[in-house]
Structure 1
């Protein structure tokens, strides 16, 4: 089906001249409707061809506001033509009968330009509507982000409430730590508890990833370790860490959440000055400082929550009278200089050897984070590449500087 022809309105007094002009316009497939007044033209008129003498001087402006207009005149000196030009009309043809082809081209060009202008106006309207919609979406997103931020901050506050008080001393062994999440919630977690007058238990965990899902696992750790601690009969302390890691490995696999962790679990025998422990791929490895030397605690172990039926090592280490035991999550490696992992581990050894307090090691990292951020309830607007936690145990007669 052919597209409808554009309808051209012709405004002129009735007569042979108007009829001839209508025929001239219609030769290239344009539809023409002749009338004496603008009000008589059909609503679907797309353009007006007006004789300069057919429109009163005061009506030119209102005509051009409604429709694209081409003016025709028999003389370039026609006073009415000059009036039309004065109000802004620039499309006109003198002696249209002689220049019919030019007139038709001007008509089609004017229609094209009007269509382009209509499309631009339509695009501007759509863009304005889109911008308004985007502003509404952005406002909604900001609201949801604010709610999420408050929720994360509340979750971080609850998570920190599950941590042990610090610093604290139990049976001659002191514990202090510094935990800073990469944003609000942390995948790092630790605990330090008295069992009885002889035994103190602690663990240090780094759950894979960070954020809400990893933080949920730390809550599970807290629950499980408290449950297992309540079931322990204080017999075979050397067996406890390896049993706990094996049980936790089964629990994480059974949940099917796809999370694993590196862990260090220790039992301190305050009577015999012995540390019974087991490792689950802890990196960096625990560092013991005594007598001016730093050593890695021996032992290896698989990550917890990755593979079934894993056996974890049962290890015992005789603790010196004065010692400092440092445990760090792998987030500390992001804060140390060095092009390789080995260089960063050696740098960590150097720093723990020279730092007699947790504050000194923390300050040596030169992070732009308030030192008491773990007591403030959020990450202070700082976003680290990974969660960062440092835990230091010292005893039995170690003097803090």
Structure 2
């Protein structure tokens, strides 16, 4: 462990840092940037995604760890594409991967560069779909939802029919780029109009929804996307590098890439152990969009269904260590010799016991020929009302790399 521990006050809570001085201050700055961030959220807020990285964190770290034009960042848990969006506007090349096909579809749509002509075409199609859906509602169209009976129970009958009709109209769009974007607009609203209590709570709740409201929200959300594309397009430099995305387990990413790929920075936020089940959080979306989450079901890392309360804490710790060991081994293989990996991690909940995520990474890193460089930590509220969890930015590099950051 290098360097003395140092605490810094912050509107969002005290930030505590330790490790190499040259690395720990960029980490602190990134955590502090989340509070009172006045900059526009660009396209980040278009679609809900549990526990996504705050864009200000990615923005600061991409600025601080750039090695010049053509810098390449890898995000092995790309989720909704926060790092990729910020890389696009910061002049970085970016590669994102995820186990969930929904995440990749969403990230691709969010990083599209759309000029006035293609935005206008999209808005015209959006308006036409809205009008056709409103007519279906008015005419009481008896459309059948192509989802399972178990999924249908999540919706009031009139909402189910309106969503089904809306999706049928979307599927009529012949331009693939617009059709996929419109499907992500649909994805952005579907949980809101289900009986699911919230994005992260798969419990039912009563919602009184009038007919036609689904269509109105769909159109507004599509208009929001078009406006966000315009703002993003204005922020993208020329020249720029379009992000690339691929479906892969982070643990087998070197095999998936099967080449000489190396990056200048890994910037990612792995799942927080025992906290979320992305398989369950996106179940409504997977069903409507015909996405098969087989790989996510089988290989989701850190899933609450495997690690949380009711599980043996010793077995949960072993499983979580094994999963993160494999992730770190993959990261080490894909880093350039002098590159850095920065992981945004939250304390795990393993068999009902809290486990400090920064300490876990520091302990496991040597097994993958990585070494701990620095960490910055900040408390976060626990939604269950318990003591605050801590969220950490942890910097690692390949073992044996001498010297501090210049």
Short-chain TM bin: under 0.3
More helix by share: 2
More strand by share: 1
Higher relative contact order (CA 8 A, sep 6+): 2
Task: Give the TM-score normalised by structure 1.
Answer: 0.20
Task: Give the TM-score normalised by structure 2.
Answer: 0.20
Greater Cα radius of gyration, structure 1 or 2: 1
